[in-house]
Structure 1
Amino acid sequence: MIKHLASFALCAAALFPTFSQAKYQPVTIDNCGVTTTWQTPPQRVVTIGQHETELLLALGLEKNIVGTAVWFGALPPSLQSAGKGLTRLAENAPGFEAVVAQRPDLVAAQYTYHVGEQGEVATRQQFAGLGINTWIAPADCVGKSLTAGSNGDGGRDKPFTLDLIYQEIDALGKIFGVTDRASALAATLRNRVAQAQHTARDALKHNAQGNVVFWFSSTRLNGDPWVAGSAGAPGWIARTLGLTNIIDTAEEWPAVSWETIARRDPDYIVLASMARRLYPADDVEQKLAFLRSDPVTREMTAVKRNRIIVVPAMSLNPSLRNVDAVEAISQRIAAFHTGS
């Protein structure tokens, strides 16, 4: 979906000076409560979280990535060429020793859960003790409370917006000395969002329907699904497109009963597709089969009218791919209402 990012991943070296050619300006950045001064840009990076991997690729920094972990699915087509040689340390959380063995000068994590106060991989202090700097995606700490929520994803004190992604792009652009690339990437994303909003506005202007639910996964297909609250990335996607998320809570991914969802009767259902198979509902085909056969869910308007939209799971987590979701959902809604 993110076709406009290909130029950053494939042509960055030709369009912008290398670190050795450019004059690097030392920069001090506060990141999730940790302040670091960078005298030189990082040269060896381990990314823990697919968003961090994709963001560095979009900035043309694939040669700096010495290891990756935590994957939900394939890279988008525009980044596959740049990312084809990446080393995967683990599909999910890597071991501390596996990360350190790559001799990184930076570990960039998408989630505090992996690198934080009680990080599954390690704490920031453990890495600092070895002289390794760390970075956590601002979207996972700014305006977010990890003690809230029903399944460990936490809740938000302030609703997520793509400004947090723009802030991260800007900060990493400064840290790596590629501010021109960062500015161009952010501008491209803003333009794509504006175009998707126009598409959705045209599709919905003669239709009153605009309620949506986002189903990520669940431990059992007939159990309470994990659906998006209104303050996380899907909430921003819905608001951006003029839709109303029927799950109005600050929790990012609460478990909500199908009976409750059916009573609110969404006009559209967005399903997360992923390669991960930790739970039965990770499989989008099983999600679809359940929705169409269960006596409660099959009576919902969205199921009866087949207004079901499938997007990559990564596009429902705070990331560059939120723009992909905005585009894909707006295009599908437009197709629903034009009959195409």
Structure 2
Amino acid sequence: MLLPHVATLIAGLTLSAFAQATPTHYPLTIENCGSTLTFAHAPTRTVTIGQAGTEMLYAMGLGDKMVGTSLWFNNVLDTYKVQNDKVARLADNEPSFEAVIGKRPELVAVELEWMVGPQGAVGTREQFHELKIPTYLLPSDCEAKDNLVGADGTRLEPFRIDSIYKSVSQLAEIFDVRDRGEQLNAELKASLAKSIATARNKDLKDASALVWFSSAQMDIEPFVAGHKGVPDFMLSTLGVRNVVQSDEEWPTVGWETIAKANPTFLVIARMDRRRFPADDYEKKLAFLRSDPVTRNMEAVKHNRIIILDAMAMQASLRMFDGVEQLASAIDGYDLSK
């Protein structure tokens, strides 16, 4: 279960805590990824394009302000099921522009700029803004990143964890629930500190890892984590080196190159999406253990393979659970083999 203390955040807040919340003063104007957004009131009809933003709103108890979701890698957590069951699923992947505006949203919250951006698969921000529909892009995908270079964008600077805290704070301000945002961020920071403390139990100065997200076909170069993205942050925070040096978010790298690097750990994504064959983590495992190149890697021979939900590899609340799982798994391995 993802961060149970976070998942029960809203249930644990008292009515008096809500009464003490500092109210948002409207009209509210914020700067977001190159756009100025103004809200006359808290949105009552929101569409999310991306699971990360969806679950941030659920974690703050804002499911009743949502009228549509889309772009899911993993199934919704049981904790959020009651909220999620009342929100229309517009698409498992990208929705159409017409499907989004058909919900008459007062806000569209977007996880990835390649969905809503200069070359957006759904549309451009200008298209939405011309209809007086503000689009809030999670800062983690626009700050210090060029989304026009590489299939999933290229990091100009390493991912910063503060971008997630910023998303929570700004969404909380937009919806006039600042206290909920502050407490959620406090819980996230405490979780990260706990994971870092766990990793300190290991001597990881020579440890390395590869993070395999998916592959368009099983027998071609896989999509792996670049050295400035979210998974790299997760690894480096725990003291583990990413063997991939590309600045791209999810570059493709050949298995021969990966085998030569011989990472200490392999981290593979588990997802419920089925866009590519390697979305199925069991097929990833079967490939690693049967391919003549990969089966001889030390991580495969010693079963140092860590399975994480795909959303734990994104700039999302689940990332904190992913760091905790990584730290726990690494702590349990005997690295003397």
TM over 0.5: yes
Shift of 1:86: 2.2
Match in the other structure for 1:148: 149
Task: Describe the shift of the 1:325–1:221 C-alpha distance in structure 2 as closer, same or farther (beyond 3 A).
Answer: same
CA distance in 1, matches of 2:4, 2:160: 22
Following TM superposition, the consecutive aligned residue runs of length 4 or more in structure 1 with deviations greater than 3 angstroms are 9-18, 21-24
Letter in 1 for 2:237: T
Match in the other structure for 1:327: 324
The CA deviation string for residues 162-195 of structure 1, in whole angstroms up to 9 with x for no partner, is 1110111111111111111111111110110010
CA distance in 2, matches of 1:297, 1:91: 32
The CA deviation string for residues 206-241 of structure 1, in whole angstroms up to 9 with x for no partner, is x65410000000111121011101100001001111
CA distance in 2, matches of 1:158, 1:248: 13
Shift of 1:154: 1.1
Alignment of 1:274 onto 2:271: yes
Q: Partner of 2:333: helix, strand, or coil?
A: helix
TM-score (norm 2): 0.94
Match in the other structure for 1:297: 294
Q: Is the 8 A contact 1:227 1:254 kept in 2?
A: yes
Alignment of 1:62 onto 2:59: no
Shift of 1:125: 1.5
CA distance in 1, matches of 2:335, 2:228: 30
Letter in 1 for 2:191: R
Task: Describe the shift of the 1:165–1:15 C-alpha distance in structure 2 as closer, same or farther (beyond 3 A).
Answer: farther
Match in the other structure for 1:98: 99
Task: Describe the shift of the 1:232–1:23 C-alpha distance in structure 2 as closer, same or farther (beyond 3 A).
Answer: closer
The CA deviation string for residues 101-159 of structure 1, in whole angstroms up to 9 with x for no partner, is 2111001111111111222112111112222111111111100011322xx10111110
Alignment of 1:25 onto 2:21: no
Alignment of 1:191 onto 2:190: yes
Shift of 1:12: 5.6
Alignment of 1:121 onto 2:118: no
Match in the other structure for 2:255: 258
CA distance in 2, matches of 1:305, 1:76: 31
* Larger mean Cα displacement after TM superposition, 175-184 or 7-16: 7-16
RMSD: 2.0
Alignment of 1:313 onto 2:310: yes
Match in the other structure for 1:233: 230
CA distance in 2, matches of 1:305, 1:223: 24
CA distance in 2, matches of 1:128, 1:46: 14
Letter in 1 for 2:287: F
Q: Is the 8 A contact 1:2 1:76 kept in 2?
A: no
Q: Partner of 1:269: helix, strand, or coil?
A: strand
Shift of 1:77: 3.6
Quick one: which of 199, 205, 210 aligns to 2:207?
Answer: 210
Q: Partner of 1:337: helix, strand, or coil?
A: coil
CA distance in 1, matches of 2:119, 2:218: 30
Shift of 1:16: 5.0
Task: Describe the shift of the 1:13–1:41 C-alpha distance in structure 2 as closer, same or farther (beyond 3 A).
Answer: farther
Letter in 1 for 2:310: A
Name structure 2 gaps, 5 residues minimum: none
Shift of 1:40: 1.1
Corresponding pairs, count: 334
